[in-house]
């Protein structure tokens, strides 16, 4: 598996060893962000839609027990088997037991961040079940023995030369081939065989509708419609926050999702599953795994609004320049950094600091999660409850003292000004990270001098 860095700075440092790649990664994601802008500006009611979506989510979360029960009842009436799992282990065991009951050996899986969160694949592999990820980006990272670095664009960190190498090794494509069309077609043929041989299909869920007892999965590739429709058993895995009350609400969320994710008006396939085809089985696993705990946190409840569009990643200046693998959680970027501390405060303590708090993530979020505010709130909790970065803690304490003492502050700012005018080696050296790859501004006067001059 890909290297799990101990914290975000370590991962970011590793990614930044290759500045050209950083710049390429940054531009690739900014391109997606710009497509998102173009798509959203074409919709006059965009802001109203965001507000409605946020309100639907807030309403649903305030009655989540009721909607989960309604969903279960309606889904069962449709002939779907409904399972409940309180954590990752239970989820994995449920999926395994369904597969074992049907003697399943070959599974095709479409994109599901939940199954990544639960580490389902290794669990099934241990029991001699082969799982093939069928989303092209996910297949690429699976062959590379890595994890997705982005929730919508899992292989955004990979260059076509690297994909060509992988496919040459695993799919017998020509050595040195890098043409995306050629490589995609090779994957199409390779995965067609897998679809036809599969005994079961596992999919994620974008939206589950309480009133109708069905669910919607969105793809561009059509892998859900191939997998789930060909295999005799379809298992859909979802976090309990994916529930929405009514069918009409799909209109709101489907308009928001693809525009926010890739700048498309809608994904190529928006597939609605309500009943299994005669002779086949459909299962749905409802998973908590920390979600009810997050629901209990007033300051962080709204993070459960997330519809996994990835817009906050594409816009984030830190994500774009540090790469998805620098984050210690399955879901990288700003949203992952507010979801993960609630799961393991110590392990993910560096993530809320992987932000400039510029607020761009909150601005693009289609369900109006106050991401940057939550990042700031997690920082406070982490500094109080963990021993994260004692040097930072000390420097903040000292800064607090200095700012609370006008005499001290005046003195320090004078010294600082002199310092910035002094010999370059004092500022531009490896010990001062603020001086790496940029010129610091040299002020002509201290703030205090400026204030006195302009207010006398």
Partner 1 sequence: MIGTRKTIHKMTAKEKILSNIKDLQLPSKALPLVPIFEGLSDDKHSFFLETLETLGVEVIISEDKAALAQLVAERAEEGPVYSPISELGYTNTLENTEMADLNLSVIEGELGVAENGAIWVEGDALTERALTAIGSHLMIVLPYQKVVWNMHEAYTYVEPRQSGYGVFISGPSKTADIEQSLVKGAHGAKSLTVFIQK
Residue pair 75/104 in contact (Cβ under 8 Å)? The answer is no
CB nearer to partner 1: pick between 37 and 48: 48
CB nearer to partner 1: pick between 111 and 379: 111
CB nearer to partner 1: pick between 41 and 346: 41
Place of tokens 């993070």: 303
- Read off the tokens for 157: 């960190």
Residue pair 421/387 in contact (Cβ under 8 Å)? The answer is no
- Whole-angstrom Cα distance, residue 404 to residue 222? 60
DSSP state, residue 301: G
CB nearer to partner 1: pick between 61 and 114: 61
Residue pair 209/250 in contact (Cβ under 8 Å)? The answer is yes
**Helix spans in 177-279 (H):** 180-197, 223-230, 248-261
Beta carbon of residue 310, minimum distance to partner 1 (angstroms, whole number):
13
Q: What are phi and psi of 162, to 5 degrees?
A: -70, -40
CB nearer to partner 1: pick between 267 and 340: 267
DSSP state, residue 325: G
CB nearer to partner 1: pick between 285 and 382: 285
Beta carbon of residue 281, minimum distance to partner 1 (angstroms, whole number):
13
Q: Of 64, 69, 33, 86, nearest to 305 (Cα)?
A: 64
Place of tokens 């043929």: 189
Beta carbon of residue 136, minimum distance to partner 1 (angstroms, whole number):
4
Per DSSP, the chain holds a count of helices (H) and strands (E) of 22, 10
C-alpha 98, offset from chain centre: 28
Task: Give SS3 for 309.
Answer: coil
Beta carbon of residue 387, minimum distance to partner 1 (angstroms, whole number):
30
CB nearer to partner 1: pick between 244 and 339: 244
Q: Return left, alpha or beta for 87; rule: phi > 0 is left, psi -120 to 50 is alpha, else beta.
A: beta
Beta carbon of residue 163, minimum distance to partner 1 (angstroms, whole number):
5
Place of tokens 């993910």: 348
> Concatenated DSSP letters for 331-365?
S-HHHHHHHSTTT-TTTTTTGGGS-----HHHHH-
- Whole-angstrom Cα distance, residue 287 to residue 308? 16
CB nearer to partner 1: pick between 245 and 359: 245
Beta carbon of residue 440, minimum distance to partner 1 (angstroms, whole number):
35
CB nearer to partner 1: pick between 28 and 412: 28
Beta carbon of residue 123, minimum distance to partner 1 (angstroms, whole number):
17
Beta carbon of residue 229, minimum distance to partner 1 (angstroms, whole number):
4
Beta carbon of residue 21, minimum distance to partner 1 (angstroms, whole number):
12
């Amino acid at each position: 598996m890909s290297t799990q860095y101990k914290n975000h700075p370590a991962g970011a440092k590793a990614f930044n060893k290759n500045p050209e790649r950083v710049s390429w990664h940054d531009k690739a994601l900014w391109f997606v962000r710009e497509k998102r802008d173009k798509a959203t500006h074409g919709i006059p009611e965009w802001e109203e839609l965001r507000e409605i979506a946020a309100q639907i989510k807030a309403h649903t979360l305030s009655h989540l027990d009721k909607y989960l029960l309604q969903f279960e009842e309606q889904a069962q009436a449709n002939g779907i088997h409904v399972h409940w799992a309180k954590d990752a282990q239970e989820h994995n065991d449920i999926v395994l037991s369904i597969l074992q009951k049907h003697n399943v050996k070959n599974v095709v899986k479409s994109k599901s961040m939940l199954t990544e969160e639960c580490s389902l694949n290794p669990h099934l592999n241990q029991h001699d079940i082969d799982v093939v990820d069928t989303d092209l980006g996910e297949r690429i990272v699976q062959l590379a023995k890595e994890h997705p670095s982005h929730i919508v664009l899992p292989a955004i960190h990979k260059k076509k030369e690297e994909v060509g190498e992988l496919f040459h090794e695993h799919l017998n494509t020509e050595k040195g081939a890098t043409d995306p069309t050629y490589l995609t077609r090779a994957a199409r043929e390779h995965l067609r065989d897998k679809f036809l041989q599969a005994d079961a299909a596992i999919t994620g869920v974008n939206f589950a509708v309480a009133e109708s007892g069905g669910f919607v999965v969105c793809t561009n590739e059509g892998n859900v419609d191939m997998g789930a429709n060909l295999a005799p058993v379809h298992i859909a895995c979802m976090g309990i926050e994916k529930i929405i009350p009514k069918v009409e609400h799909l209109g709101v969320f489907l308009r928001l999702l693809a525009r926010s994710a890739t700048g498309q008006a809608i994904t190529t396939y928006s597939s609605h599953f309500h009943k299994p085809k005669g002779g086949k089985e459909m299962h749905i696993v409802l998973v908590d795994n920390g979600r009810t705990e997050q629901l209990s946190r007033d300051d962080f409840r709204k993070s459960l609004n997330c519809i996994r569009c990835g817009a906050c990643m594409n816009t984030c200046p830190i994500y774009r320049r540090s790469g998805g693998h620098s984050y210690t959680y399955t879901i990288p970027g700003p949203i992952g950094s507010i979801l993960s501390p609630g799961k393991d405060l110590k392990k993910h303590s560096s993530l809320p600091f992987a932000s400039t708090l510029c607020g761009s993530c909150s601005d693009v979020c289609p369900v109006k999660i106050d991401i940057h505010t939550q990042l700031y709130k997690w920082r406070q909790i982490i500094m109080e409850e963990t021993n994260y970065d004692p040097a930072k803690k000390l420097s903040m304490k000292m800064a607090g003292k200095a700012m609370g003492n006008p005499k001290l502050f005046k003195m320090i700012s004078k010294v600082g000004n002199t310092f910035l005018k002094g010999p370059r080696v004092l500022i531009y050296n490896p010990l001062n990270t603020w001086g790496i790859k940029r010129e610091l501004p040299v002020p002509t006067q201290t703030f205090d001098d400026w204030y006195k001059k302009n207010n006398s």
